[in-house]
Amino acid sequence: MSEQFYVKNGTNVLEKVMVCSPRFYKFNGINDITKAWMEKGETEQNELMVKEWNTLVQAYKDNGVEVVEVDSYKELEVQTFARDFGAMVKEGAIIGKFRHPARQKETEIYEAKLKEMGIPIIARCNAGCFEGGDFWMIDDHTLAFGLVDRTDKAGVDNLREQLEKFGYTVVGVESRPTNLHLDMIFNIVAPKVCIAATDELPYQFLEMLKRRDFKIIHVPSELVFKHGCNVQALGNGKVLGIENNKSVNEAMEAEGLEVIKLPLEQILKAGGGPHCMTYPVKRS
């Protein structure tokens, strides 16, 4: 009998994801992207957000990915970014701790869905803060946690203690708080291939990637707030990207990747892209 596992790395074939509709999403100034749009008088336009989100869901289904939808609730106004309540490794789920009160009640809803699916919880952030947008599996044994805006040293130290017994090495990756999450400035798109806003990342982290023979595709800092790095690897050389991010898409295609270009625009104003909207449950 083969060993049961969930997510061994960020690039194996994506088989199952958890998502949540933005139908009740309300713009909230808890990130600089949305704050800037609100200052220009923008509102959420939920129908348009849902229409764009549906293209993400359909792209998953078209590529053989099982989609588990979590109920959205009117009182949870910033719920659509399913990635952030925690993370997944091969042994099971890691439960995070939201920094902002506006998001804290989301955790119990996502956790209930994990329970329903019979997924074990192997670690829980009990001190400080940790959000899933700051989590990356560099390889099967190395976990990177962004220390940006929503995850702090206390949260990472707390999880390091719990994860070391599974054989994981935990590294912290610092960046300016305005960058929000690590997945806004870094993304692994295929085995040993990543896109990175290199001017926003620490030298030591970039050197670690080079030592591990990663091909680093540079993303200019001005594309960070346009979600230039916020794509989702499907495995098998495919990536869910954003239609308008032409230069990033072309750079990934130059590496032989097939980029499925999603027509996302309004939903990005809420401060997240395909990666933020997706909690990976299973990669084969």
The mean pLDDT of 45-53, rounded to a whole number, is 87
The pLDDT, as a whole number, for residue 122 is: 98
Does residue 15 sit in helix, strand or coil? strand
Q: What top-level class would CATH report for the domain 14-283?
A: alpha beta
Q: Phi first, then psi: give them for residue 89, nearest 5 degrees.
A: -125, -175
Q: Is the per-residue pLDDT at 2 higher than 50?
A: no
Residue 19: name the closest of 84, 63, 77 by CA.
Answer: 84
Q: Is the per-residue pLDDT at 1 higher than 60?
A: no
- Residue 123 host element (H or E): strand 121-124
The pLDDT, as a whole number, for residue 25 is: 82
Question: What is the 8-class DSSP label of residue 99?
Answer: S
pLDDT in tens, 206-265: 999 999 999 999 999 999 999 999 999 999 999 999 999 999 999 999 999 999 999 998
Give the largest CA-CA distance in the chain: 58
pLDDT in tens, 119-166: 999 999 999 999 999 999 999 999 999 999 999 999 999 999 999 999
Spatial CB neighbours of 260, under 8 Å, sequence gap ≥ 6: 59, 63, 234, 238, 239, 240, 241
Name the residue type at position 225: F
10/62 Cα distance (integer angstroms): 20
List for the chain the helix, strand, coil content (%; round to 5): 35, 25, 40
pLDDT in tens, 15-38: 999 999 999 887 776 666 666 756
pLDDT in tens, 51-93: 999 999 999 999 999 999 999 998 887 889 999 999 999 999 9
pLDDT in tens, 167-210: 999 999 999 999 999 999 999 999 999 999 999 999 999 999 99
pTM, rounded to two decimals: 0.94
Q: Phi first, then psi: give them for residue 270, nearest 5 degrees.
A: -80, -10
The pLDDT, as a whole number, for residue 33 is: 67
Two tokens, residue 40: 């220009």
What mean pLDDT value characterizes the chain?
Answer: 93
The pLDDT, as a whole number, for residue 77 is: 75
Q: DSSP per residue over 151-189, as a string? A: --HHHHHHHHHHHGGGT-EEEEEE--GGG-SGGGTEEEE
